[in-house]
Amino acid sequence: MKKIMKALIKLPALAVLVIASVGNAATPNPFDWQTVPKKDDQITMRLAHSLNMEWSSQTVALKRFAELVAIYSDNRIRPVIFPGSQLGGEKEMLQQARQGVIQVTIPATNNMAQVAPSLNVLLLPYLTQSTEESNYLLDKITPTLVPRVIKESGVRIVGWENTGWRHFFYNAPEAIENPADLAPLKMRVPPNAIMLGTYKSWNASPAPIAWNELYSALQQGVVEGGDSPVSDIIGMKFDEVISRITRLHYTILTHPIVVSERWFQSLDEDLQKVVLRAGRETTEYVRWWQPQDEARWWEKAEEAGVEITDIEDETPWAEKARASWPNYYHLIGKDGEQLTKTATDILESFKASQQ
């Protein structure tokens, strides 16, 4: 009995200790890669991008890259992120990166292709038809693209972000299942010649409307739809002004993580290795994170009442789109056909390895 009483007497003190322990555990770490104390000889790494949404995979990728650079450089490089187009649009940010005014940016591949045409090879419709194929192609062709892109745009690709496949989202009485179903619809398409040409190969009417004007264009009926990954469709609240999504795999939306080549060459060899390592590991992180994140966006689309259609056989779409490839070789470069063959050979080796 005495032992029991002694135990009961000790309980309040023990409870206080437990509460204190829990309280201490809940106290945030006073330092992270953004708040660690500054050093006198730190190198500032300015990262700029167009979005200001925490849910976007571009934001996730750029923050991950910044954190890894800070960690692996032992705080010799201090990242500062400028989101939401604070420093201009993607074209302006690429120009600033070329000049070394900013050090890192993450443009859409289709937008960067305007200043680095070699990247157009990745936009050929139905070049890949699975995420696994796309990832393999990027891993194998990036070493070929890096020196070309440096020469074309003055920036170096160090990693990749994958937002997801571009799916049709639209308003229409019936679902889009065949290329002919696009004929009566005006669809917003990014201002990229290959993407516009792809829609024309399906006898569609593409409209190159700016992304930030798309919601009002849908609302006012200027266009009936467009294409984008589901995270962008629902994240941008397009579900408020469209009723349908049709899933297909004609092109995947990627964003290269690029660094100013001028800045990169100013770093010592150890810090160059840090930047390259951070780019590789960010790529792997996004490939792990993105499919899990995408699953919740499809759940949100269903909860919003959007009607979702899967195209069972994409052969008619692929045949029409791939037939237009020769029209685009000149947009890739003087050796556009050869670079395309390099890409298709890589994919053939991947398919052979899967058998």
CB-CB neighbours of 226 under 10 Å: 26
**pLDDT exceeds 70 at position 306:** yes
**pLDDT exceeds 90 at position 77:** yes
Q: Which residue has the higher pLDDT, 258 or 11?
A: 258
Confidence of residue 212 (pLDDT cuts 50, 70, 90): confident
**111: Cβ contacts below 8 Å, ≥ 6 apart:** 90, 91, 190, 192
Alpha carbon distance 338, 342 (integer Å): 6
pLDDT at 16: 40
Q: Are residues 230 and 103 in the same domain?
A: no
Q: Are residues 105 and 148 in the same domain?
A: yes
Q: Are residues 238 and 277 in the same domain?
A: no
**pLDDT exceeds 80 at position 275:** yes
Q: Are residues 246 and 319 in the same domain?
A: yes
Q: Are residues 190 and 148 in the same domain?
A: no
Question: Which residues lie across from 45 on neighbouring strands?
Answer: 79
Would residue 4 count as lying in a domain? Answer: no
Would residue 244 count as lying in a domain? Answer: yes
pLDDT at 105: 96
**What CATH number has the domain bearing residue 77?**
3.40.190.170
Q: What is the DSSP string of 200-254?
A: HHTT-EEE---GGGHHHHHHTTS-SEEEE-HHHHHHTTGGGT--EEEE--S-EEE
Q: Are residues 235 and 261 in the same domain?
A: no
Report the domain count for the chain: 2
**81: Cβ contacts below 8 Å, ≥ 6 apart:** 47, 48, 49, 62, 63, 66
pLDDT at 29: 59
When the pLDDT of each residue in the chain is averaged and rounded to a whole number, the result is 91
Q: Are residues 191 and 52 in the same domain?
A: no
Per-residue pLDDT of 34-49, as tens digits, reads 777 787 889 999 999 8
Task: DSSP letter for 37, please.
Answer: P
Would residue 143 count as lying in a domain? Answer: yes
Q: Are residues 75 and 93 in the same domain?
A: yes
**pLDDT exceeds 60 at position 18:** no
Alpha carbon distance 270, 265 (integer Å): 12
- Chain-centroid distance of CA 67 in Å reads 18
Work out the average pLDDT over 309-333: 97
Alpha carbon distance 179, 202 (integer Å): 5
- Look at 14-23, 189-198, 333-342 and tell me which has the smallest mean pLDDT: 14-23
Q: Are residues 172 and 183 in the same domain?
A: yes
Q: Supply the range of the domain harboring residue 313.
A: 167-251+305-353
Would residue 19 count as lying in a domain? Answer: no
Work out the average pLDDT over 244-264: 97
pTM for the complete prediction? 0.89
Residue 116 class from Cβ within 10 Å (0-12 exposed, 13-18 middle, 19+ buried)? Answer: buried
Would residue 15 count as lying in a domain? Answer: no
Would residue 36 count as lying in a domain? Answer: no
Would residue 6 count as lying in a domain? Answer: no
Q: Are residues 186 and 285 in the same domain?
A: no
Work out the average pLDDT over 188-206: 95
Would residue 202 count as lying in a domain? Answer: yes
pLDDT at 9: 44
**pLDDT exceeds 80 at position 15:** no
Q: Which residue has the higher pLDDT, 4 or 148?
A: 148
Q: For residue 214, what are its two tokens?
A: 């798309």
Q: Are residues 243 and 331 in the same domain?
A: yes
Work out the average pLDDT over 125-137: 97
Confidence of residue 55 (pLDDT cuts 50, 70, 90): confident
Q: Are residues 262 and 183 in the same domain?
A: no
